[in-house]
A and B are shown apart, each in its own frame.
Chain A
């Protein structure tokens, strides 16, 4: 029922993280979702796609993995971004080249 506000929270965290890392574009957000989080995957993806129609998140994909380890968990695992200014990386955020 509240997928729209969850999608907004996901985007807030993703954009905030991307900007802190001098990335210009977010291509993918990887989300881990517990089985008891009251959140429909399709509705969440739909809400996410509605909110990613411009700017640095345009066309970003939401990848959802269901987890059994934490039934109430709703965690952004990572984001995938383009065009990082390599000179200003914050290594404390756990960069992985790919």
Chain B
């Protein structure tokens, strides 16, 4: 009997394709946001609101990941933004190969900002890099304030956390300091941003939109002419 030392990541193929995607995005100056979160957290609502806020300044594209149906893609399509639906046919997450395939349906030269809405799931998508520039986790008040503690994997990989449905805080007896405290215990990044928003009332969304503009400009200074060098603040979007 012999032991053969391998020492390779089982997800190496995914990582390899994610790196390829990243190069394609970078060559085309596309900023890519991977949106993750539970079913019903408000990922699609956030997308619709963000498209509304940014579409005059930035050319947007969307990849929708769902286990079944094209329901979300139809909602996005109605805004006029180019959208590709990926049906994972039961798979619980998007992987880099699915994104690579979906990209063939876009003209990336015509897109500055690509949103990837992952499958609604607070577990598996955290483990699969897609080649994205930023990872956003949408959590919502009705899910409870214990989510960062119970799903540390997802909250650990986040660059930004949006706490949605903030208008329902009192109804659900949600304790924001518990949520934030556990969040900061889990995610040690000094850059982590938490925004409290309501996609229904629009509360707090300007902070998120301004952050997005800021990081997009940092990644691609060429955009300055389109969206202005100063982020907008509190303009009631």
Given contacts A2-B93, A9-B11, A76-B10, contact A38 B123 (CB under 8 A): yes
Q: A75 touching B4 by the CB < 8 A rule? A: no
Which of A38, A39, A80, A94 has its CB near the most chain B CB atoms (within 10 A)? A38
Give the distance in Å from the alpha carbon of A93 to the alpha carbon of B3 in the complex. 10
Q: B8 touching A18 by the CB < 8 A rule? A: no
Nearest chain B CB to A20 CB, angstrom units:
9
Instruction: Name A74's contact: one of B10, B121, B157 (CB within 8 Å).
Output: B10
Asked if A60 is at the interface (CB within 8 A of a chain B CB), the reply is no
Asked if B91 is at the interface (CB within 8 A of a chain A CB), the reply is yes
Asked if B82 is at the interface (CB within 8 A of a chain A CB), the reply is no
Contacts of B123 in A (CB 8 A): 1, 38
- Which 10 pairs of residues, A with B, have the shortest CB-CB distance? A94-B5, A1-B92, A36-B153, A74-B10, A38-B123, A78-B5, A76-B6, A96-B3, A9-B10, A98-B3
Q: B5 touching A96 by the CB < 8 A rule? A: yes
Nearest chain A CB to B149 CB, angstrom units:
13
The dominant DSSP class at the A interface is mixed
Q: Which residue of B lies closest to A5 (CB)?
A: B91
Interface residues on A, range: 35 or more
Once A and B bind, how many residue pairs between them come within 8 Å at the CB atom? 95
Interface residues on B, range: 20 to 34
Within 8 A of A (CB), among B147-163: 152-153, 156-157
Contacts of A5 in B (CB 8 A): 91
Given contacts A1-B123, A84-B2, A98-B1, contact A77 B91 (CB under 8 A): no
Within 8 A of A (CB), among B1-20: 1-13
Nearest chain A CB to B135 CB, angstrom units:
13
Within 8 A of B (CB), among A37-80: 37-39, 71-80
> Hey, what's the 0/1 contact readout for B119-131 against A, CB within 8 Å counting as 1?
0010110110000
A-B contact pairs, 7 of them (CB 8 A): A1-B124, A5-B91, A36-B156, A75-B8, A78-B4, A79-B3, A82-B1
Within 8 A of B (CB), among A8-29: 9-10, 13-14, 17-18, 21, 23, 27
Nearest chain B CB to A26 CB, angstrom units:
9
Give the distance in Å from the alpha carbon of A98 to the alpha carbon of B126 in the complex. 38
Contacts of B8 in A (CB 8 A): 13, 75-76
Contacts of A27 in B (CB 8 A): 1
